[in-house]
Structure 1
């Protein structure tokens, strides 16, 4: 089986490459080998590869910058996705598309189900939703859409690695405690994607690690686990603050917990708490 991966340089793309099953030929692309702003570049890449399945993990992910770069965010998260879906339909290629919790407004008080009504509150969330809708319009239930949240890995830039740097250089930290979600190791998500491919799962699903917490809880856990692993050598005060004390250009959902039941059941996944996967990722940094 040949699979084409878009977004090879991202956290998920990196994990997908290093966890690729032996029975799969994986061809991975990202900038500059492919230009997602250029329709011909996308078409040529897919035509030349002739994959059985395309995994689209490419996206414009700078949530705050998207508020100013609306056209670029829309092109990568919506326009390019529509073109990818059109080619997949024409060439009879299966598509696995990665999306986000940001398609919801964060006003729920229970985990979001895959078919709950989206209502994005940022440009990033809006463009990602438009990409989802394009996939559903063109491929229907023949495609798989997997929404995830709060992604981190030992590769690239993310909250965990930023916290480790700040804990080593700052005297104290102020971290928002009223935004609730689930930290997700990109390695966990990669394995779920491979399971989706293997079992030919389609439709809209959610995947994160298990459990929930605030960004403040996440930071506390990072400090405790990193101290135990000797990645940091001191404890600094971490103060919980409301989101109003840390304004950002883009609004964030206050509640981002996703219901993963459908994918967990389809793939026979035993949920793993985010604290355990955090420890596994930090062990990679040792």
Structure 2
């Protein structure tokens, strides 16, 4: 069965391209996800049986001003894909975010807890999740993840490594807690979801949790260990209210993964283990640092 990945330029799609070279990858030049006619003609001509929607507007701060653009990609495009998938009995895996929650919990957030986003990005992702289930489809699911990073493209890990090479000191937020997640882990989880016809909403991240500050310290440690960094910048903790950002961020967004673990046997590795694997990958290839 042909599987199409929407959003071919993103870091998750790049992981799929390596893990699943038989997948079909579509970007803006290949299909207009804002137009149902374009979706219909393109995907029907490919005889698609599964869709993985990895496209998203992810610029959290800019979304506060670019509201229309955020909703276009995170809601309208998702609605169009969900309607097409339901009408044609096609499997759909849509990637969502921990930002759909308020982020004031003290324990891992379960998959079906109430959405209470606190910024435009979270609101648009919440609208996208709801759009997936507007059209009955037994093979549609939302996989919610957090703090996604990779050895490809621009993300927190590659940004931190680049800054650590040129700065003496970096200040990183210590009062926001979540779980870093490797795109390689998420791609494998998506493949299992397709194979087992996962339905409904579920959470997937790597195991464990940390603050952004703790994440940065571990990036620095592995960067030095694998000779990516020489005299690396020192990392200092800072409270989020001292950090200049347009959008509010969740304080605690650790996701409960018991459903996907118990029902489908998807047991993630600890985020530190996955991070070391990704840092190792950076030593073996060209990187944008």
Asked if Structure 1 and Structure 2 have the same fold, meaning a TM-score greater than 0.5 normalized by the shorter chain, the answer is: yes
Distance in 2, matches of 1:81 and 1:274, equals 29
Which structure 2 residues correspond to residues 24-43 of structure 1 after superposition, within 5 A? 25-43=22-40
Which residue of the other structure, out of 136, 156, 161, is the alignment partner of 2:158? Answer: 161
Distance in 2 between residues matched to 1:247 and 1:208, nearest whole Å: 27
Residue 35 of structure 1 and its aligned partner are, at CA, apart by 2.8
Distance in 1 of aligned mates of 2:79 and 2:113 = 22
User: TM-score w.r.t. structure 2 length?
Assistant: 0.94
Contact 1:37 1:80 survives alignment (8 Å): yes
Contact 1:43 1:87 in 2 (8 A): yes
- In structure 2, how many angstroms separate the alpha carbons of the residues matched to 1:253 and 1:169? 29
Q: What does 1:243-262 align with in structure 2 at a 5 Å threshold?
A: 243-262=240-259
Please, what is the CA RMSD of the aligned residues?
Answer: 1.3
Question: Matched residue pairs, number?
Answer: 283
TM-score by length of 1: 0.95
Match for residue 206 of structure 2?
209
Q: Which runs of 4+ in 1 moved over 6 A?
A: none
Specify the alignment match of 2:121 in structure 1: 124
Per the TM alignment, residue 142 of structure 1 is displaced from its structure 2 partner at its CA by 3.5
- Within 5 Å, give how 1:43-58 maps onto structure 2: 43-58=40-55
Unaligned runs of 5+ residues in structure 1 are none
Q: Deviations over 1:195-247 (max 9, x none)?
A: 11111111111000000000000000000011010110124321100001112
- Provide the rounded CA distance (Å) in 2 between the counterparts of 1:238 and 1:250: 23
Aligned counterparts of 1:221 and 1:72: Cα–Cα separation in 2:
34
* Aligned counterparts of 1:211 and 1:127: Cα–Cα separation in 2: 27
Unaligned runs of 5+ in 2: 284-289
Residue 187 of structure 2 corresponds to residue 193 of structure 1: no
Query: Cα distance 1:255–1:83, how it changes in 2: closer, same or farther (>3 A)?
Result: same
1:3 counterpart SS class: strand
Corresponding residue for 1:76? 73
Match for 1:105 among 102, 105, 117?
Answer: 102
CA distance in 1 between partners of 2:245 and 2:209 (Å): 23
Alignment match, 2:230: 233
Aligned match for 2:177, one of 158, 165, 180? 180
**What residue in structure 2 maps to residue 20 of structure 1?**
20
- The Cα shift of 1:31 comes to 2.3
Deviation sequence 1:229-278 (CA, Å, 0-9, x none) = 01101243211000011121111111110001111223313331100100
- Give the equivalent residue in structure 2 for 1:5: 5
